[in-house]
Structures are given as structure tokens and as C-alpha cells.
Structure 1
């Protein structure tokens, strides 16, 4: 292992430096708490900066074994490569999330594990890849993908740093997803509370009776309760009841 000027650098020296880098990364990701998209983008930007030889980075969600949804990327190029794997149903990103957790591709054009992907990805300029499983939530998984246009770009150090970053990123992303869900839930409760208040004031109902009205309308119209409540709070009329009559 050498520094940029060619000076040898042993593991004892590099380990504390890497620890400092990962601490800064963790703080940066925590700063994005509650904003899932910002957290995803921060991960991709950080990866290109700290993982040796990473030219580009992407994060995709994978569902149903083959559906790949690009979510964040350092540029359009890795997003295009992720989408390619979804279209043809094969590639290192899919294997990383469903099979081995880490997949390294030293030479995309010469790899025989995914012939269709290898041919098309190399035509798009992919030289080497390093893919990690980022998280697992039900049947939805996250793929953390590093790309280089040069074959053989990624070594053991790249993989070790990528693993550490993926671990930090998974924790940060889980926290952001949880906080986002909490905020959405609080917003839904506020809307339902407003709708209940309107019904209680207008029709002299109890809180339970007003909630019962919203529930029945939701069932009859086959619409989400929060959507019914939102329309009532916005228009002043119960959905499906016709024009409001004062």
C-alpha cells in the first residue's frame, strides 16, 4: 500500500486514517437524517471519494428477484448500468443482493457469469465492478455498486473499504427510512384528526363516531382512510356525498 507520492504505507498507519475517514462519513450520513433521498445521494458521493479506484457509484433497490430500481448515482452512467441489469434479469448487482452479499468483477468484458450483461455493459464502457448488499427489508433489498471504466481497478483494499462504507450506509439509511415513516405517520394522524374534528363539529359526533364515519366511507369507496380524511379536510365534504349543503 502506498501514498499518492509513492511512499510505502503499512496497515498500522492506514488503519487509523481509515477509521477517521469512516467517522467523518458516519457524521455526514447522520446529518441527512430523515431525508432518504439525500442520504442515498450522500452515500454515492462519499463512496467515489473514499473507496480506492471507484470511478462511479450507484444505489438501487431490488424487488421480486429481478426488478431493479435505480435510486441514486454519481452520474447517469452507473444508473444506466443498473437499469440494464433490471431489463435483462442478470448481473452482479442481483447476485450481490440475493446470493453472495459481495461480488467483484475484475474484467466485465471477459466475465462469463452473466454473458448478456457482460456484453452489453462492456459496450457501455464498464471495465470492472464491485457490488455489495446494502440492506434487506422484506422482499426489497438494496444494492451498493461501484464502477470503473478500467478492468482490474478494484483490489482487496477497495473491497475492505467498500464493506465498511456499506455497513455505515446501511445503518444511516435504515435510520432515515424509519424517521421518514414516522413523519409520514404523524402527518397522516394530523389529517385524520382534522377530518374527525370537522365531522364532530358539524354533526355533533363523538371522536369514535367520527372515526367510524371515515372508516365506512373508506371501505365503501375502496380508498385509503388518510386519502378520505385529506379530501374532507380540504373540501369540507365527505367524499362521495355529493355537493356540500350548509
Structure 2
């Protein structure tokens, strides 16, 4: 687990790469796992990510389509959900029937994080029924804890990089205005703020267009 934790921390702010590392490591680590994916719920919409197979991707889509399934329960109820046999499952009849028909035998889902309306779950799939046992659940819970930490760190670093990029872009735009109109830094910034208010656009968008075209947006 220590080696896995270090591996998951190596992507340095690349959220999608971190998600791919999580699902690949889950398949290699949690007993019984054949496939894996991560589901992110953003403002009540489920977005599948980093599925290790087309079948895992399809089953994720089924849960979104039917609005039921172990992943959604893990997300909404903040718990671990184990499905021993999808062919005999009665908690989510529409989802279980279709998932079994497509070739999934059993499932195991863990909540990864809760951040306001944003939720995340790790989904593990097996082709055969009875593939997940108490050991799978125990190992999976520890793995999910490490994965949640790695994903949180990647998202924070990504947000920090984005903020720095935006700050640099605004600084470049200020420099253009200062040189072109012989303005001070506060005056150049105020000019962009007024353009943002006048055009009802974000300050970063004003700066991006100015640095890209050399012209201050007027509408």
C-alpha cells in the first residue's frame, strides 16, 4: 500500500492521469477485480472517468441512465456497497439485469470523497459472480483511502496551476496596456476591470483576448 500510495502521488496535478493510475492500480491490487472506473458526480450529474475496459464504461453509463446502482448508493449514502451476484440482485432490478446481461458478474463500490455537491466513487467490477469477498472489501477500503488522498492532492495542485496561469495571463495583459498607453499597473488593471464589467465577461477572458489579439474587447 505504501508503494501504491507513492505511485498515485506521482502525477503532480494531472487529474485525469491520477484517475487512470487509480483504476489501473485498483485492478492490480484489490482481490477479484477485473475492471475498474471512477465516477464523479458534479452538480448531480454522473461523469465516468478512467474506465479500464469498455464494459466498465458501459456499466457506469447504465447507472446514470437508470439512476440506480451500487455506485450511486456508495456516493449518496457514504458507504461501501458489495454486489455478490448481479444476476440475482434485487436492490436495483433494471440496472442489475442489464449489467448482468452485458457480462458483469459482481461489483464493489467505494465512496472516494465528498466536497459539497461534488462526489466521487471507485467502482470495481468482476466478470464472475462471487469474485469479491471480505478481504476484497477490506483491501479496497484501504486502497480507496489512499486514492482519495492522491486525487485530492492532484485536484488542489491543478487548481493552483490554473490560478497561477490566470494570474500570469492578467499580468501579461496589464503589461501590454502599460506599454501601449503609458499607464501604471493599477491604471491598466482598472481598465481591464471596466472592460470586464462593460462586456459582462470574466477578467481572465478579457486578458486572454488582449494577449491573443492585441485588442481590448469592446463587446
Same fold (TM over 0.5): yes
Equivalent residues, number: 219
- Equivalent residue for 1:196, pick from 159, 174, 178: 174
Which consecutive unaligned segments of at least 5 residues does structure 2 have?
none
Aligned pairs for 1:116-127 (under 5 A) are 116-127=94-105
1:50 corresponds to which of 29, 41, 49: 29
How far apart, CA to CA, are the structure 2 residues paired with 1:127 and 1:63?
Answer: 28
Counterparts of 1:133-148 in structure 2, within 5 Å, are 133-148=111-126
Question: Does the 8 A contact of 1:33 with 1:172 survive in 2?
Answer: no
TM alignment of 1:198-217, pairs within 5 A: 198-217=176-195
- Tell me the CA shift for residue 204 of structure 1: 1.9
- Give 4+ residue runs of structure 1 displaced > 4 Å after superposition: none
Q: 1:184 to 1:100 in 2, by over 3 A?
A: closer
Work out whether 1:28 is the aligned partner of 2:16: no
Alignment root-mean-square deviation, CA: 1.2
Give the structure-1-normalised TM-score.
Answer: 0.86
Comparing both chains, which one has the higher relative contact order based on Cα–Cα distances under 8 Å and sequence gaps of 6 or more? 2
In the alignment, structure 1 segments of 5+ residues that lack a partner are 1-21, 242-246
- Deviation, structure 1 residue 42: 0.5
1:201-238: CA deviations, max 9, x gaps?
11122211211111121122222211110110111110
1:94 to 63, 72, 76: 72
Structure with higher Rg: it is 1
TM-score normalised to structure 2 length = 0.96
**1:78-126 CA deviation, whole Å, 9 max, x = no partner?**
1111111111111110000111420000111211111111111111111
